Structure 1
Amino acid sequence: MIQVIQAHNVSLTYLEARFGLKETETEDFFTEWFDTLPEITDIEKQYLDRVKTNFMRLVKHPPILENAVKMIVLSPLLDLAGFYREPFFIATEESIEIALEDEGEIIKGKIDVLVIQEKLWLLVIESKRASFSILAAIPQALAYMLGNPNSDEPVFGCVTNGEDFQFIKLIKQDKPEYALSDKFTLSKRENELYQVLKILRKLSQALS
């Protein structure tokens, strides 16, 4: 009998043991999140300031669920980054299964936001309840990203609870390796949504 494992219950230890996944310490593995980022306009900064204000207002009235995070924070970011225009299109709440043939197991879960270009996974965004730490979402996002059928191209992800953001890069050639960006947060005085948008736009330009 095939065992079905919910992706939100998967740990990094499990992924390391079953897939040989490891976090790389190579500095030039994931330069996309900091190297030569595109500039954003003053109007875009004003818009992102309003996004931050809208979200921080909701924080005062918990709980803030995933749909609110996607509507208030993710949707404006994806729009400004260009993911609502050609050659991209958005598929939401897509189901994936990762088959572990040797172990007779399946990791199964839901993807919150999936950006697809020509049926290739380019960016996975896994949004959690605002009260959840994004650390809890990283193994789940990696489990989804390992399901990418195209093993020749890197897969990028972003985990967020609305307040915090962290980017992931995964390469599956030979044994899968991944790296994480720094964490960006709205709890700082400076609006770090500026940096999040720059990274998303850099990825949209690189993958278009």
Structure 2
Amino acid sequence: MPLPATIEICQKDLFTAEDELKRKYDEITVRRLLRLREMYAWAVANPDAKDRQFVEVLVSRHRISQAAAYSDLAIVKSMIPRIAEASRDYHRWRANEMLLETYQTAKKRKDAKTMERAASSYAKYNRVDIEDERAMPYDRIVVQPFTATDDPTVLGIKPIPNINEKIKEMLDKYRKETIDIEDIEFEEADLEEDELFGDGSAK
């Protein structure tokens, strides 16, 4: 079975622990993923950096070709549509890493209280005590049947007998009562506009 594209792996496992990555992917993929994670963090920490700077840092740190560096740049940029969101993702990952490091250090020292606090903070931060929301069973929703009708009783209104005839009678009645409009002749007013609206200079 072919491996998924690097961008798909990044979207799913960019911040997954290294040990788990090694269980899921081959060595080359893991190495590149860790490199992308490092440069993702660098891009978040340097939001004003130019593409050229990103490539120079990547080539210098990992001794890869410029073509490979630009390929990594494209992936990192696709992972950071907005720097604010990227920063939150990065800090979430860093917070989890620090909590896990604290737990491991406390475990080596056999410091049960610190282990308990770190585990509690990790659980609270990742909301592991909250059940996953159940997906809405859209396939079980029954569409409400609607049928068009001109029967007013469905609204609780008492129907008027022979309503169409009554409407016709009312229309005829008010048409007869309408005042007839007559066309009349008119003459254009001979307004002396210059005298009425002039500036008063012409006398």
Structure with the higher helix share, 1 or 2: 2
TM-score > 0.5, shorter chain as reference: no
| TM-score bin, normalised by smaller chain | under 0.3
TM (normalized to structure 2)?
A: 0.22
Query: TM-score normalised to the size of structure 1?
Result: 0.22
